[in-house]
């Protein structure tokens, strides 16, 4: 039976465990380039034992960013910064993964830390967003996108393919297409955002066409030996939005078009959702398990899986093949090491870089003399020097 620390192989890539650092946008780039901040932040998580490490979603076009501070991969000049990051992640024993994205009607925003408001097209840091239809997201994103022509859709597929080609050149070994969270892919699949009258709108087959064509284009540019995966927003949690059963069919078609693993998340295509599950422990797990069983494809999922016993159970019960951690990876760069200590069965020290391993082992059986990580219980405290 597999557990959280069982290696996982997909195509030609083996992860040392089932724990991924989920993609998280940082708004720290200048001209879309990665810099020392990313090297520090991502290198630390790789050194902390994660099997798979995603930077943030990386834009395939300038207008596919969330803010002007987001990372991009639409220019050859952006490859060097990404290369430094992938080399560091690999040196620390993890596999570097890239999430390729176009934000569609959710772009043209301020960084989250500056307030996260949407900026109008005429603002110096804003732009005219695009989408399947000229329908604004609403709420705090009031500016309507421009409807994409069929020629522009084809151009976006080409941009995804060019980005995949650059991603391989930059050293990434795992690729995820971002089809969730209300961004361009998600908005094509959702009737809330897509009301087109042509072959990209209407039936679910038509609304999934954007995804299948993107997969076809990327598959040609991305090495066959590396996994091609997607984060799919599989439920809009809205009566008029995308329903989960419809997504299962769409994921089945994506599998036929070369998808190797699906990472389940929400559609987020409307600010008005009929439940707010964001603090419920593992609320995507049931959907992941259904897709795994019904489509017969490896799955991953995130959302409140930061309690080690819960994450481990999800793997042991074969409800998900991988666990993606967002906020828990922010709060604890060594989450996998900590989880190994909490759960037992996996030597936590094996998860840190070999340079430190000898120094962290108990010295001649004296636990108090061992370095970080200290036991989470009070065990060993009696041996501590008294002040
Ligand atoms: C600061 C922050 C930025 C995020 N940016 C992205 C992103 O770029 N792409 C994405 O797919 N999800 C993004 N997410 C969502 C996470 O990847 C993850 O799916 C979500 O936080 C749920 O997992 P968690 O409960 O472990 O945090 C972000 C989350 C956070 C907290």
For the residues of 270-304, what is the DSSP string, one character each?
A: -S--S---TTSTTTTHHHHHHHHHHH---EEE-SS
Is pLDDT above 80 for 57? Answer: yes
Q: Phi first, then psi: what are they for 141, rounded to 5°?
A: -125, 80
CA distance 326 to 177: 17
Is pLDDT above 60 for 236? Answer: yes
More confident call, 68 vs 385? 68
**Angle at 243 (CA atoms; ends 25, 138), nearest 5 degrees:** 50
pLDDT at 231: 98
For ligand 1, whether the C-beta of 233 sits within 6 Å is no
> With the C-alpha atoms ordered 226, 301, 177, 338, is the resulting torsion angle positive or negative?
negative
CA distance 339 to 106: 35
Q: For the segment 189-221, what is each residue's pLDDT rounded down to a tens digit?
A: 999 999 999 999 999 999 999 999 999 999 999
Residues in Cβ contact with 245 at an 8 Å cutoff, skipping those fewer than 6 apart? none
pLDDT at 197: 98
- Most informative mutation of 326, 329, 333 for ligand 1 (most atoms within 8 A of CB): 326
For ligand 1, whether the C-beta of 230 sits within 6 Å is no
> With the C-alpha atoms ordered 57, 302, 216, 157, is the resulting torsion angle positive or negative?
negative
Q: For the segment 253-273, what is each residue's pLDDT rounded down to a tens digit?
A: 999 999 999 999 999 999 998
CA distance 128 to 285: 36
Tokens 């998600």 sit on residue: 186
CA distance 240 to 201: 15
| 240: Cα within 13 Å, side-chain hemisphere | 8
Residue nearest atom 16 of ligand 1, based on CA coordinates:
326
3-state percent breakdown (helix, strand, coil) of the chain, nearest 5: 35, 15, 50
pLDDT at 226: 98
Annotated active-site residue 200? The verdict is no
Determine the distance separating the centroid of ligand 1 and the alpha carbon of 11, expressed in angstroms: 25
Say which range, 30-44, 87-101, 151-165, 371-385, has the weakest mean pLDDT. Answer: 371-385
Class of residue 32 by CB neighbours under 10 A (exposed 0-12, middle 13-18, buried 19+): buried
Residue nearest atom 31 of ligand 1, based on CA coordinates:
327
Q: N- to C-terminal Cα distance for the chain?
A: 47
Class of residue 7 by CB neighbours under 10 A (exposed 0-12, middle 13-18, buried 19+): exposed
pTM for the model stands at 0.95
pLDDT at 373: 54
Is pLDDT above 60 for 164? Answer: yes
Place 361 in a pLDDT band, splitting at 50, 70 and 90: confident
pLDDT at 372: 59
Residue nearest atom 18 of ligand 1, based on CA coordinates:
326
More confident call, 283 vs 193? 193
CA distance 337 to 28: 27
Place 380 in a pLDDT band, splitting at 50, 70 and 90: very low
Ligand 1 atom at minimum distance from 329 CA: 26
- Most informative mutation of 22, 54, 301 for ligand 1 (most atoms within 8 A of CB): 22
Beta carbons within 10 angstroms of residue 364's beta carbon = 6
Q: Tell me the β-bridge partners of 9.
A: 14
% of the chain residues with pLDDT over 90: 87
Residues in Cβ contact with 214 at an 8 Å cutoff, skipping those fewer than 6 apart? 156, 157, 160, 177, 185
What does the domain layout of the chain look like in residue ranges?
8-352, 356-387
pLDDT at 105: 98
Place 386 in a pLDDT band, splitting at 50, 70 and 90: very low
Strands 19-21 and 322-325: parallel
CATH architecture under which domain 8-352 falls: Alpha-Beta Barrel (3.20)
Place 274 in a pLDDT band, splitting at 50, 70 and 90: confident
For ligand 1, whether the C-beta of 326 sits within 6 Å is yes
Place 384 in a pLDDT band, splitting at 50, 70 and 90: very low
Q: For the segment 111-134, what is each residue's pLDDT rounded down to a tens digit?
A: 988 999 999 999 999 999 999 999
For ligand 1, whether the C-beta of 100 sits within 6 Å is no
Q: SS3 for 59? A: strand
More confident call, 273 vs 7? 7
Catalytically annotated residue among 74, 137, 143, 183: 183
The runs of H, that is alpha helices, within 285-387 are 285-295, 308-316, 327-331, 335-343, 354-360
Place 185 in a pLDDT band, splitting at 50, 70 and 90: very high
Q: Phi first, then psi: what are they for 173, rounded to 5°?
A: -125, 5
CA distance 194 to 236: 13
Beta carbons within 10 angstroms of residue 23's beta carbon = 23
Helix axes of 79-91 and 150-169: crossing angle, nearest 10 degrees: 50
């Amino acid at each position: 039976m597999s557990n959280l620390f069982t290696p996982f192989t997909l195509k030609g890539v083996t992860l040392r465990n089932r724990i991924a650092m989920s993609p998280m946008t940082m708004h720290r780039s200048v001209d879309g380039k990665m810099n020392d901040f990313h090297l520090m932040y991502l290198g630390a998580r790789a050194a902390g034992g994660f099997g798979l490490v995603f930077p943030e979603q990386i834009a395939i076009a300038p207008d596919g960013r969330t803010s002007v501070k987001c990372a991009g991969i639409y220019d050859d000049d952006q490859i060097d910064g990404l290369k430094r990051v992938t080399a560091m992640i690999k040196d620390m024993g993890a596999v570097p993964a890239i999430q390729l994205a176009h934000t569609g009607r959710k772009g043209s925003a301020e960084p989250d830390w500056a307030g996260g408001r949407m900026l109008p097209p005429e603002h110096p840091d804003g732009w005219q967003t695009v989408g399947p239809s000229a329908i604004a997201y609403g709420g705090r994103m009031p500016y309507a996108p421009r409807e994409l022509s069929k020629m522009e859709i084809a151009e976006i597929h080409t941009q995804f393919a060019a980005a995949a080609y650059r991603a391989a050149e930059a050293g990434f070994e795992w690729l995820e297409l971002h089809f969730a969270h209300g961004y361009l892919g998600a908005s094509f699949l959702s009737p809330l955002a897509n009301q087109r009258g042509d072959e990209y709108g209407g039936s679910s087959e038509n609304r999934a066409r954007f995804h299948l064509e993107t997969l076809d284009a990327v598959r040609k540019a991305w090495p066959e030996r590396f996994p091609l995966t997607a984060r799919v927003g599989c439920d809009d949690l809205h009566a008029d939005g995308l329903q989960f059963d419809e997504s299962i069919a769409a994921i089945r078609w994506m599998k036929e078009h070369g998808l190797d693993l699906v990472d389940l998340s929400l559609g987020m295509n409307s600010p008005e959702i009929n439940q707010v599950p964001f603090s419920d422990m593992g609320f995507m797990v049931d959907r992941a398990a259904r897709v795994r069983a019904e489509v017969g494809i490896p799955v991953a999922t995130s959302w409140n899986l930061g309690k080690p016993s819960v994450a481990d159970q999800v793997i042991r019960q074969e409800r998900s093949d991988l666990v993606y951690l967002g906020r828990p990876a922010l709060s604890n760069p060594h989450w996998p090491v900590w989880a190994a200590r909490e759960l037992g069965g996996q030597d936590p020290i094996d998860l840190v870089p070999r340079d430190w391993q000898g120094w962290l082992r108990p010295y001649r059986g004296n636990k108090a003399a061992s370095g970080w990580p200290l036991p989470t219980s009070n065990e060993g405290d009696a041996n501590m020097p008294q002040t």
